[in-house]
C-alpha cells in the first residue's frame, strides 16, 4: 500500500480523481453511463461491468515533457515520468504497455500496476507532438485495498469457472494475470481468459478472481447490431451493381486484395458461408468476381450467395484501405494477416461469415485485441420475401467493420475501451457515422438513414434520419439523461457527427478522392482525419465530453486549430457546448468563436 500513500495526502489529487470517486458523488443516475454497463447474456446470466471513470486533459500547442531537457529523450520514460508527476504517484505504479505513431503524434499507452502486475481497467494514454505533450487521458484509481499478488486459484480452475458461467469454451488464447478495479475501488487479482461459443456467437474475456474463483467481470468483444458489389458510395442492391476494375488501393494493400486465381480470401479479409473453406471462387481469371444477382430469388440462390460474399469482400477491403490512408495501419492495430514488417501484430484479418446461421435481422462484429481476427457475422433479414441479405447493404457492412476500427483505435489495441454504456453508445454512433461518410457523392449533405434496404423502408432502422435539421432529428446530448441503450445513445452521437461533417464540408468543400487521398484540404478529408485522430487521443471508455475534447485537440494537432470554432459551433448546436455536463445541454461556444 506504500505505493499509493501519496494519493491520500495530495491536495491536487482531489480534483484529478474526483471523477473516479463514484460512490462519494451525488450524481444523477445517468452518470453511471460512463462507468457501468448492464448485459444480459444468452444463457440468462446478467452482468453489470464497471469501468473506472476516465478523464482527458488536452494541452493545445503542448506542454514541455518532463525529460525534454534531460539526456534521455525516450518517450516511454517521458510518458511514465509525466504520469507519475501529474498524478503524484510512484514510478513503480505505472507500466508502459505499448505505443503507436501516426504521421503527427506518438501515443504512449500505460497501465497502473502493482507488484509488476498490470491493472486491466486502470489505464492511461499520453500523446506527444513535436516532443511536447498534447493530451493525457487516464482512468487510474486510488485503491482501497489490493489483493495478494500470488494466485491461490489455478488458471485451470479459473477456466472451468468461466466456461460454466459464460456457457462457452476456452479458446486457447494465452491467459494473463491482471488486477481489476471494482466499483468500491478495491482491487482483485484475476486470471483473464477468453471464452467463445461459436453457435451462440458469443466471445468474452472473463476476469476470474484468482483467490475466490468467481467470475467478477467480462469484456464482451461482440458488438451486436440492433437494427429495427455495390459501389461503396451506393447503399444496396437497389442502387445497382457495377463491375469495378482493380479497386485495391496499393498504398494500403501492397499485394492487392487477393492473388489471381484465389477466391474471396486475402490479407485483409476472408468472406465465406458456414466454414472458412466455403468462399467464392473467381468467375474468371484475372480477379474476376462477376455474379448476376437475382432479386426475385432467395439469398441462398448460388449467384446471390456469390454476390454477397463478393460484396462483403469488396466493402471490408475498401474500409481497410481508406481507414489505412487516415492512420488505421499495422502499427495502429489494424486487421491484416501479413503486416509487411510495419509493426503491430498480424494474423488478424477480418473473417466475415455471410448468411450466418446464428441469427436473423441483425449483424454483429467481435473485436478481440490486436493479433486476433475480427469476426463479422452478417445475417439474413426476413421482413421481405424473398429475404434480404445484410451483406448486400453497404451501410450495414461498414457499420459492423467500423466497430473493429474504433475498438482497436481507442485505448491502443486492447479492445477493452468502448465497453461502458456511454462509450459503447459512441461506438454505435461512429459506426453509423462512418457509413454516412462513405456514401457521400458530392458536397450535398442529405439526411442519412441506415438499413433502408434490409427492411425495405425508406425510414431505415433508426429513430430519426441523421440530419442538419433539428425538426427532422431533434436528438441532442441532453437526451442521454433518458437513454440507456447503446444504439439509442449512438443515434445521438452519429447525429452530432453528421452535423460536424456538414459544418466542415460547408467550410471547406468536398473531395471526390477522399478515400484514396488524405492530403486534400476539403471538409470530408478533414472530417475523416479528425475522426481517426481523435480516437487515438481519447481515454479508455470516453464520454461524449472527452470525445468532443479529443476532436478539438486533434484539430489543434493536425491543423493548428484552424477548425476550432467550426467544431465548437457544431458540437454546441446539439448540446455539447463548453458548459455541457452530466447530460445537460449547453449551446455556448468559447469566446472568440
Ligand atoms: C418493398 O416495398 C415496396 C413498396 O412498399 C413494395 O412494392 C415491394 O414489394 C417490397 N419488396 C419486397 C421484396 O418485399
Ligand atoms: C500525401 O502526402 C504524403 C506526404 O507528403 C505523400 O507521401 C503521399 O504520397 C501523398 N498522398 C497522395 C495520395 O497524394
Ligand atoms: Ca493487427
Ligand atoms: Zn453496431
Q: What is the mean pLDDT of each run of 10 residues along the chain (593 residues)?
A: 26 29 33 80 83 94 79 82 95 95 94 97 96 95 96 98 96 97 95 92 94 95 64 79 83 85 91 95 84 95 96 96 98 97 97 94 94 96 94 96 98 96 97 97 97 92 95 98 94 98 98 97 98 98 98 98 98 98 97 95
Position 215 in a domain = yes
The answer to whether 219 and 195 have CB atoms below 8 angstroms apart is no
3-state SS class at 587? coil
Distance separating alpha carbons of residues 317 and 185, to the nearest angstrom: 43
Per the annotation, does 439 bind a ligand?
no
| 384 C-beta closer than 6 A to ligand 1 | yes
Q: What is the domain range of residue 200?
A: 145-220
Question: Where residue 562 sits, what CATH number does that domain have?
Answer: 1.10.390.10
Position 86 in a domain = yes
DSSP 470-514: TTT----GGGGGT--SHHHHHHHHHHHHHHHHHHHHHHH---TTT
Q: Do both 541 and 471 map to the same domain? A: yes
- Is position 400 annotated as part of the catalytic site? yes
Mark which of 119, 138, 157 sits at the end of a domain. 138
Q: Do both 149 and 202 map to the same domain? A: yes
Residue nearest (by alpha carbon) to ligand 2 atom 11 = 517
The pLDDT value given to residue 45: 83
Per the annotation, does 57 bind a ligand?
no
The answer to whether 264 and 289 have CB atoms below 8 angstroms apart is yes
The pLDDT value given to residue 553: 98
Helices (H), 372-420: 394-409
Question: Where residue 188 sits, what CATH number does that domain have?
Answer: 3.10.450.40
The pLDDT value given to residue 74: 84
Q: 169-170 and 186-197 as β-strands: parallel, antiparallel, unpaired?
A: antiparallel
538 CA distance to ligand 2 middle (Å): 26
The pLDDT value given to residue 72: 64
The pLDDT value given to residue 229: 67
495 CA distance to ligand 2 middle (Å): 31
Read off the DSSP letter of residue 452: T
Q: Do both 532 and 436 map to the same domain? A: yes
Nearest ligand, measured from the Cα of 433 = 4
Catalytic residue among 400, 422, 439, 491: 400
Distance separating alpha carbons of residues 506 and 434, to the nearest angstrom: 18
Distance separating alpha carbons of residues 289 and 263, to the nearest angstrom: 9
For residues 438, 475, 36, 170, the Cα torsion angle rounded to the nearest 10 degrees is -30
Q: Do both 195 and 73 map to the same domain? A: no
Around Cβ 493, how many Cβ atoms within 10 Å?
26
Q: Do both 85 and 212 map to the same domain? A: no
For residues 358, 193, 120, 37, the Cα torsion angle rounded to the nearest 10 degrees is 30
516 CA distance to ligand 2 middle (Å): 10
Residue nearest (by alpha carbon) to ligand 1 atom 1 = 456
Residue whose C-alpha is closest to residue 219's, from 235, 195, 183: 195
Q: Do both 96 and 216 map to the same domain? A: no
CA atoms within 13 A on the CB side of 464: 21
Total domains in the chain come to 3
| 519 C-beta closer than 6 A to ligand 2 | yes
The answer to whether 576 and 475 have CB atoms below 8 angstroms apart is no
| 23 C-beta closer than 6 A to ligand 2 | no
Residues with CB under 5 A from ligand 3 (ion): 344-345, 348, 370
Cβ neighbors of 124 (< 8 A, separation 6 or more) are 83, 94, 109, 110, 111, 112, 136, 137, 138, 139, 140, 539
Q: Do both 90 and 201 map to the same domain? A: no
CA atoms within 13 A on the CB side of 260: 4
The answer to whether 268 and 320 have CB atoms below 8 angstroms apart is yes
Amino acid at each position: 500500500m506504500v505505493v499509493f500513500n501519496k494519493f491520500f495526502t495530495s491536495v491536487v489529487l482531489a480534483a484529478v480523481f474526483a471523477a473516479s470517486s463514484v460512490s462519494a458523488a451525488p450524481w444523477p443516475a445517468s452518470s453511471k453511463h460512463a462507468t457501468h454497463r448492464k448485459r444480459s447474456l444468452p444463457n440468462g446470466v446478467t452482468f453489470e461491468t464497471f469501468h473506472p471513470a476516465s478523464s482527458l486533459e488536452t494541452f493545445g500547442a503542448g506542454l514541455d515533457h518532463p525529460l525534454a531537457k534531460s539526456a534521455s529523450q525516450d518517450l516511454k520514460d517521458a510518458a511514465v515520468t509525466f504520469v507519475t508527476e501529474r498524478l503524484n504517484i510512484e514510478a513503480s505504479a505505472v507500466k508502459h504497455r505499448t505505443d503507436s505513431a501516426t504521421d503527427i503524434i506518438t501515443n504512449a499507452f500505460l497501465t497502473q500496476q502493482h507488484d509488476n502486475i498490470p491493472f486491466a481497467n486502470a489505464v492511461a494514454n499520453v500523446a506527444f507532438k513535436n516532443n511536447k505533450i498534447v493530451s493525457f487521458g487516464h482512468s487510474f484509481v486510488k485503491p482501497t485495498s489490493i489483493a495478494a499478488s500470488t494466485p491461490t486459484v489455478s488458471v485451470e480452475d479459473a477456466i472451468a469457472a468461466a466456461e460454466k458461467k459464460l456457457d462457452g469454451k476456452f479458446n486457447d488464447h494465452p491467459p494473463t494475470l491482471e488486477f481489476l478495479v471494482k466499483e468500491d475501488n478495491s482491487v482483485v487479482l484475476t486470471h483473464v481468459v477468453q471464452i467463445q461459443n461459436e453457435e451462440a456467437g458469443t466471445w468474452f474475456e472473463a476476469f476470474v478472481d484468482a483467490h475466490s474463483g468467481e467470475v467478477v467481470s467480462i469484456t464482451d468483444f461482440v458488438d451486436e447490431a440492433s437494427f429495427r458489389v455495390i459501389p461503396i458510395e451506393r447503399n444496396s442492391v437497389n442502387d445497382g451493381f457495377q463491375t469495378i476494375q482493380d479497386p485495391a488501393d496499393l498504398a494500403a494493400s501492397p499485394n492487392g486484395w487477393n492473388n489471381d486465381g484465389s477466391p474471396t480470401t486475402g490479407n485483409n479479409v476472408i468472406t465465406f458461408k458456414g466454414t472458412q473453406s466455403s468462399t467464392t471462387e473467381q468467375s474468371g481469371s484475372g480477379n474476376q468476381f462477376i455474379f448476376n444477382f437475382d432479386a426475385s430469388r432467395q439469398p441462398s440462390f448460388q449467384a446471390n450467395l456469390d454476390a454477397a460474399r463478393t460484396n462483403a469482400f469488396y466493402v471490408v477491403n475498401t474500409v481497410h484501405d481508406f481507414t489505412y490512408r487516415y492512420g488505421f495501419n499495422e502499427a495502429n492495430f489494424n486487421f491484416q494477416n501479413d503486416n509487411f514488417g510495419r509493426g503491430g501484430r498480424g494474423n488478424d484479418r477480418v473473417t466475415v461469415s455471410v448468411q450466418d446461421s446464428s441469427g436473423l435481422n441483425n449483424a454483429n462484429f467481435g473485436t478481440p485485441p490486436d493479433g486476433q481476427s475480427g469476426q463479422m457475422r452478417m445475417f439474413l433479414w426476413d421482413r421481405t420475401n424473398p429475404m434480404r441479405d445484410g451483406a448486400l447493404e453497404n451501410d450495414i457492412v461498414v457499420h459492423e467493420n467500423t466497430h473493429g476500427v474504433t475498438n482497436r483505435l481507442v485505448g491502443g489495441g486492447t479492445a477493452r475501451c468502448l465497453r461502458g454504456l456511454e462509450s459503447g453508445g459512441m461506438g454505435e454512433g461512429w459506426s453509423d457515422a462512418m457509413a454516412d461518410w462513405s456514401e457521400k457523392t458530392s458536397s450535398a449533405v442529405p439526411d442519412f438513414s441506415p438499413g433502408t434496404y434490409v427492411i425495405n423502408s425508406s425510414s431505415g432502422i433508426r429513430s430519426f434520419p441523421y440530419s442538419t435539421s433539428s425538426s427532422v432529428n431533434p436528438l441532442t446530448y441532453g437526451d442521454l439523461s433518458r437513454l440507456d441503450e447503446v444504439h439509442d445513445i449512438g443515434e445521438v452521437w452519429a447525429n452530432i457527427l453528421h452535423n460536424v461533417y456538414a459544418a466542415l464540408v460547408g467550410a471547406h468543400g468536398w473531395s471526390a478522392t477522399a478515400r484514396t487521398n488524405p492530403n486534400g484540404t476539403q471538409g470530408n478529408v478533414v472530417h475523416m482525419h479528425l475522426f481517426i485522430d481523435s480516437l487515438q487521443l481519447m481515454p479508455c471508455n470516453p464520454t461524449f465530453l472527452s470525445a468532443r475534447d479529443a476532436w478539438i485537440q486533434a484539430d489543434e494537432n493536425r491543423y493548428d486549430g484552424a477548425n476550432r470554432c467550426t467544431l465548437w459551433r457544431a458540437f454546441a448546436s446539439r448540446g455539447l457546448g463548453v458548459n455541457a455536463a452530466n447530460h445537460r445541454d449547453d449551446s455556448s461556444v468559447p469566446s472568440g468563436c
